[in-house]
Structure formats: structure tokens, C-alpha cells
């Protein structure tokens, strides 16, 4: 029972966060970091959102922080959308900040070959050092439509409808297609997760 409670608490940091750092937030339309921020704001996430980008002081009329370490408040969840060569350093900063959950959107890991696989191995070691849990890398994000949460951290142009059905996919392309069909048919979901490379959290973790 204690182990089950611990795992549930770990997933709560991902799917029921009280605060989110979007690392790689962007002012540029068409950029994934802009799409994610737009979705978080337009869906009215019931928590705090902190854009992080060392090259911007303001994004979407919001104060933007150079790094996650510069955020004065606690951060439950970090959504990472930076070039692969910066991911390890960003994750290390998240660990030092006390972040508990990560969604790593960034690609360029084991799906690209041996060098990417080694980088992914380093990433898994790094999150293990700090006891963080991660969805990804190489994923399209997550959402939770519960009225008390209203988390929309998927970068596709989808308007979540609250429902009772959860959906998990490894393939981003399949996930985007299913969400598009569901929107056309007005089918709602409770939660959604694109797990990508499944370097840490897998479908088994999410279905328990």
C-alpha cells in the first residue's frame, strides 16, 4: 500500500501539478514552446505557470525567467522543450530546484541511434540522482481535463473536452490523429499522455 501511495504521489506531480515551469517558452508563432504556453494559458491551468527562456524577459505579457533556478516559487512540474544538447543541464537545474516531475518534449535521443541512446542513458541517470519522474523524451506532452486541474500541455492545436476515458500513446503521430478525430466527434478524455521513448514512465506505470 505504501509503495502504491508513493507511485500515485509521483504521478500527481505530473498530472496534478500546482505550478509549472515551461523551459523553452517562446514568443515565436509556430514554435513548440509558444504552442505549449498558448495551450496552458488558453485552457486556464489552475496553478502557476512560469515561462523560462534566457533570451527573453517577457513572453505573452508574462515575466520570463533565465533559468528554473531563478523562479522564486516552488515548481512541481517542468516541461522541457530545448535542443537536446541542453537537456541534461536543464534537468540538472530542475533537480537542484526541487522539481519532482518532468515532461521532456525534446527529441534527438535513442530514436536517432547510438549517440542519442547514450544521451538518453545520461538523462535517465540524471533524473535518478534527484528522484524525479519523467515522461518522454521525444513526446508531445500530457493533459488532464479535471476541472480542478485544467492542464493542457500538448503542443498540437487541440481543445480538450472533459470526459471519463484516459488515453496513452507512444507514437506522437498516432496521438495527434486520435485527438483530431476525438475533437471532430466531440469525444472527451479525462487524461492523455504521449510517452515517447518511455525512458522512465511507461504505459504500465500509467495504467496501475
C-alpha cell at 28: 515565436
CA 86 to each of CA 24, 28, 46, 134: distance values in angstroms, whole numbers, following the listed order: 11, 20, 29, 16
pLDDT band for position 6 (cuts 50, 70, 90): confident
Q: What ranges in 74-136 are assigned the alpha helix state H?
A: 84-97, 114-130
pLDDT exceeds 90 at position 203: no
Average pLDDT on 76-103 reads 98
Residue 193: Cβ-neighbour burial (10 angstroms; 0-12, 13-18, 19+): buried
Residue 172's pLDDT is 86
Q: pLDDT > 90: what percent of the chain?
A: 78
CB 50 within 8 A of CB 22: yes
Average pLDDT on 48-57 reads 96
Average pLDDT on 45-74 reads 96
Q: pLDDT > 70: what percent of the chain?
A: 97
Average pLDDT on 137-148 reads 96
pLDDT exceeds 70 at position 2: no
Q: Three-state SS string across 143-180, please? A: EECCCCCCEEEECCCCCCCECCCCEEECCHHHHHHHHH
Give the CATH number, domain containing residue 182: 3.40.50.720
Residue 107's domain spans which residues? Answer: 2-207
Give residues with Cβ within 8 angstroms of 107, minimum separation 6: 84, 137, 138
Residue 4's pLDDT is 64
Residue 21's pLDDT is 99
Average pLDDT on 18-35 reads 95
Number of domains within the chain: 1
Residue 171's pLDDT is 85
pLDDT exceeds 90 at position 132: yes
pLDDT exceeds 80 at position 8: no
Residue 40's pLDDT is 96
How large is the angle between the packed helices 114-130 and 84-97, nearest 10 degrees? 10
Residue 204's pLDDT is 80
Mean model confidence pLDDT for the chain: 93
Amino acid at each position: 500500500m505504501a509503495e502504491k501511495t508513493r507511485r500515485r504521489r509521483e504521478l500527481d506531480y505530473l498530472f496534478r501539478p500546482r505550478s509549472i515551469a515551461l523551459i523553452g517558452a517562446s514568443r515565436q508563432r509556430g514554435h513548440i514552446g509558444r504552442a505549449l504556453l498558448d495551450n496552458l494559458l488558453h485552457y486556464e491551468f489552475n496553478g502557476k505557470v512560469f515561462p523560462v527562456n534566457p533570451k527573453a524577459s517577457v513572453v505573452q505579457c508574462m515575466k520570463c525567467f533565465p533559468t528554473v533556478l531563478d523562479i522564486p516559487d516552488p515548481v512541481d512540474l517542468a516541461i522541457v522543450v530545448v535542443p537536446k544538447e541542453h537537456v541534461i543541464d536543464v534537468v540538472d537545474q530542475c533537480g537542484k530546484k526541487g522539481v519532482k516531475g518532468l515532461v521532456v518534449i525534446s527529441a534527438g535521443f535513442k530514436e536517432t541511434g547510438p549517440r542519442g541512446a547514450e544521451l538518453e542513458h545520461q538523462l535517465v541517470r540524471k533524473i535518478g540522482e534527484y528522484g524525479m519522474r519523467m515522461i518522454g523524451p521525444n513526446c508531445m506532452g500530457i493533459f488532464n481535463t479535471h476541472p480542478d486541474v485544467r492542464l493542457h500541455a500538448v503542443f498540437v492545436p487541440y481543445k480538450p473536452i472533459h470526459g471519463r476515458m484516459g488515453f496513452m500513446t507512444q507514437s506522437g503521430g498516432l496521438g495527434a490523429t486520435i485527438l483530431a478525430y476525438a475533437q471532430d466527434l466531440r469525444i472527451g478524455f479525462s487524461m492523455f499522455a504521449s510517452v515517447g521513448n518511455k525512458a522512465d514512465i511507461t504505459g504500465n506505470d500509467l495504467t496501475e
